[in-house]
C-alpha cells in the first residue's frame, strides 16, 4: 500500500526569495496603464499651478506625487522588493507543508491553509509554482521543494487543474 504524500520544509523570507517571487508572479501592465495615474497627477498639478489661485504648495505636492508615482512604476520590482524587506515578515521563517489535503504555510505573522478543492488553477513557472485561489495568488519556489514535492505538484497539475 502506498503511503500518502507529505512534504514539510522551512525557508527564509529573504531578498532573493522576494525577487524570485516578484519575477515569477507579477503581472506587468502595459506602459500606458503603468503610467496612467502618474500622467493624470502630473497634468493635474501643472493645471493647478498654472491656472488656479490655489495654495501653490498643494499644487506642487500633487505634481510631485505624479513624479513619485512615475518613479514607482519605472522601478516597480525594486520598489516592491524594498517594501517587502521593510515588512515585519522579512527575514522570518516560513513552515511549508504540502500533502494530500492541500498546502499549509505558516510564519510568525501569517498563516495560509489552502485545500486542493480551493485551488482554482496552478501554473508551473520557470522557477516555481503560481497557485491561484479565492484568497488571491500564492507562489512556491522550487528552491524550497524536493524532487518528490515537484513531482507531486506536477501530478496535481496534470490530473486536476488543466487549463
- What is the DSSP-derived secondary structure letter of residue 117? G
pLDDT truncated to tens, each residue of the chain (163 aa)? Answer: 578 899 999 999 999 999 999 999 998 888 888 899 999 999 999 999 888 888 889 999 999 999 999 998 999 999 999 999 999 999 999 999 999 999 999 999 999 999 999 999 999 999 999 999 998 999 999 999 999 999 999 998 887 645 4
SS3 content of the chain, % helix, strand, coil (to 5): 50, 25, 25
Are 41 and 62 in contact, with CB atoms under 8 Å apart? yes
**Nearest alpha-carbon partner for 104 in 9, 3, 14, 16:** 9
Q: With contact defined as beta carbons under 8 Å apart, do 6 and 100 qualify?
A: yes
Give the pairing type, strands 93-99 and 102-106.
antiparallel
Name the region of 102 (left: φ>0; alpha: ψ -120 to 50; beta: rest).
left
The per-residue pLDDT for 107 is 94
The whole-angstrom separation of Cα 61 and Cα 73 is 18
* Residue 158: predicted pLDDT: 83
Helix, strand, or coil (residue 124)? strand
Please tell me the distance from the alpha carbon of residue 113 to that of residue 103, in angstroms, as a whole number.
Answer: 6
pLDDT at residue 163 in the model: 46
> Is the CB of residue 121 less than 8 Å from the CB of residue 112?
no
What pLDDT is stored for residue 52 in this prediction?
87
6-14+91-160: CATH number? 2.30.29
Cell of 111: 498563516
Kindly report the number of other CB atoms within 10 A of residue 72's CB atom. Answer: 16
Amino acid at each position: 500500500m502506498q503511503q500518502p504524500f507529505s512534504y514539510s520544509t522551512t525557508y527564509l523570507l529573504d531578498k532573493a526569495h522576494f525577487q524570485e517571487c516578484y519575477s515569477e508572479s507579477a503581472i506587468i501592465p502595459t506602459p500606458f496603464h503603468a503610467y496612467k495615474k502618474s500622467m493624470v497627477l502630473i497634468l493635474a498639478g501643472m493645471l493647478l499651478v498654472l491656472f488656479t489661485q490655489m495654495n501653490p504648495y498643494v499644487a506642487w505636492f500633487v505634481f510631485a506625487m505624479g513624479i513619485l508615482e512615475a518613479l514607482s512604476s519605472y522601478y516597480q520590482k525594486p520598489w516592491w522588493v524594498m517594501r517587502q524587506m521593510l515588512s515585519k515578515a522579512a527575514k522570518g521563517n516560513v513552515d511549508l507543508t504540502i500533502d494530500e489535503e492541500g498546502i499549509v504555510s505558516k510564519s510568525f505573522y501569517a498563516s495560509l491553509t489552502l485545500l486542493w478543492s480551493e485551488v482554482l488553477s496552478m501554473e508551473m513557472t520557470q522557477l516555481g509554482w503560481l497557485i491561484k485561489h479565492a484568497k488571491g495568488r500564492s507562489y512556491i519556489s522550487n528552491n524550497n521543494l524536493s524532487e518528490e514535492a515537484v513531482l507531486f505538484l506536477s501530478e496535481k497539475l496534470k490530473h486536476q487543474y488543466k487549463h
